[in-house]
Amino acid sequence: MTLKRNRSIWHHNQMHRLRLVSPGDFTYVFASLLLSGMQLLPASQRVRVVSKVSAFLGRLLHVLNVHSAKTIRDNLNMVLGSDGSPYRAESDMRQLLSLTAWNALMINSLPVFPREQIADLVPMDGIACLDDRLNGGHPVLIWSFHFGVHPLVVAAILHARGYPIHAVTHVRHMPTDASALRRLYLQRLRCIGDQFPVIDPREGMNRSMLDVLRNKECLYVTPDYMIPGKEIQPKSAFVVPIDFLGRRAWLQTGGLRLPKRLGAQVITVLSTQDNGGERRLIVEPFELPTSGLTPDDLQRDLQMCMRRLEAHVLAHPYLWWDLKRDDLVERLTTIPQEKSDCTGEGEK
């Protein structure tokens, strides 16, 4: 028993020790060098250059970054199934890698862009629905996703346009198991969190969220599915199961319960991309299907939210950058054979 316990402790320490390198570090080193070169360009030219360079990088990384390419290919197969066209899969992969490069380059450039330029980085449709809710004296819960334009870039655009955005994000948190080279990349990501108010869930967010909602401002949240643990109970008040892409996801309810209790209006922000590669942001109102705060009510609300994302992922998988996640299969688990408890209705 003692030997088994010692092996378990050794394995835990190995998993959390600082690594010198890790899969994908070539991408981060290459990106860091390129990002440093971008600093030499005048801010007025960076937006145009970013679009052209990111398209080239997508093709280059498709060939050079074998680890990321394999991860995306495997996850695409999981989402689309074996009926997906191999040509489409490779095309989606290149576009996703181009999007990843675009987000990285844009995040690097934001700290030096003038406010007026940030406000117009990406065309935005439907923004009037956000104006209507704020003008009506309502707090607003904005749901963004790991889809298309990076949520922090979206938050920066909204902030530059004068909206009272408070983003709930881990951007200031440095993972303990991040490799030394990746830490250099993540350090750049931190800088963007200095441009607008940030609420870190690890620092206790309820009081900060309460202040934002009472002041009738915007709480900006990105729902994320977590790796389920054995401690999650079937009827937990804090984590609920959601059906997503034919699999089971687990979402926390804390980012919805408090805004709902204080009467926040909900809108979503999603991205689109035309055949020419131009990206747009689509701002849409979202009507919660329930008015209650029970776990079942929150589950139905989140289920409807994920149905909206699911429709976009199936239509444009190359914009869903969670496909790069090594642990996506762990986060989206197989639905048990018994009848699912998730009976949320689809969007009308």
What is the structure's pLDDT at 102?
A: 85
Evaluate if residue 280 carries a pLDDT over 60.
yes
- DSSP string for residues in 269-281: EEEEE-TT--EEE
What percent of the chain clears pLDDT 90, i.e. is strictly above it?
34
- The mean pLDDT value of the chain amounts to 79
Q: Is the pLDDT of residue 137 over 60?
A: yes
The full set of domain ranges for the chain reads 2-331
Contact criterion met (CB below 8 Å) for 98 and 55:
yes
pLDDT digits (tens, 9 = 90+) for 23-71: 455 555 665 666 666 667 666 677 777 777 777 777 777 676 777 788 8
CB 103, CB 321: distance < 8 Å: yes
Distance separating alpha carbons of residues 32 and 6, to the nearest angstrom = 39
C-beta of residue 236 within 8 angstroms of C-beta of residue 154? no
CA dihedral in degrees (43, 36, 103, 114; nearest 10)?
A: -20
Query: Residue 225 in 3-state DSSP?
Result: strand
d(CA 318, CA 90): 10
* Percent with pLDDT over 70 in the chain: 70
Across 100-104, 235-239, 254-258, 302-306, least confident range: 235-239
Of the two residues 19 and 75, the one the predictor is more confident about is 75
pLDDT in tens, 151-175: 989 999 999 999 999 998 876 665 5
Question: Is the confidence at residue 76, as pLDDT, over 70?
Answer: yes
Note whether 106 and 148 are within 8 A (CB).
no
Q: Is the pLDDT of residue 126 over 90?
A: yes
pLDDT at 232 over 60: no
- Whether residue 4 has pLDDT greater than 50: no
Burial 303-338 (b: 16+ CB within 10 A, else e): bbbbbbbbebbeebbbbbbbbbeeebeebbeebeee
